[in-house]
Amino acid sequence: MTPTSRGWRIDRVPAKPVRRAEDGRVSVPLWLLRDGVYHSDLDLHLSPSEAELLHAQLSHALDDGTPVPPQWSAP
């Protein structure tokens, strides 16, 4: 993120790991920024099945960049 960036942006918090929340969901720590200025901490909460789907889609995209097979898409 550059100081001249305009608009809203959500970034991962580099120093905080993804973790399993007390309710069993996966929690991804995020930062909310506007025009490059920090505004708030946020958490993206995913069910275990949503986290597995995201993992599969990210792995597939990082592997060769081809589109994700239909069976790996949300219903």
Pair 42, 14: CB distance under 8 Å: no
Sketch the domain layout of the chain as residue ranges: 8-66
pTM (two decimals): 0.74
| Amino acid letter for position 45 | H
Cα distance between residue 6 and residue 33, in whole Å: 10
Q: What DSSP character marks residue 72?
A: G
Tokens found for residue 4:
């001249």
Looking at every residue in the chain, the average pLDDT score rounds to 87
Give the pLDDT confidence of 45-73 residue by residue, as tens digits: 999 999 998 998 888 888 877 766 666 66
Cα distance between residue 65 and residue 3, in whole Å: 30
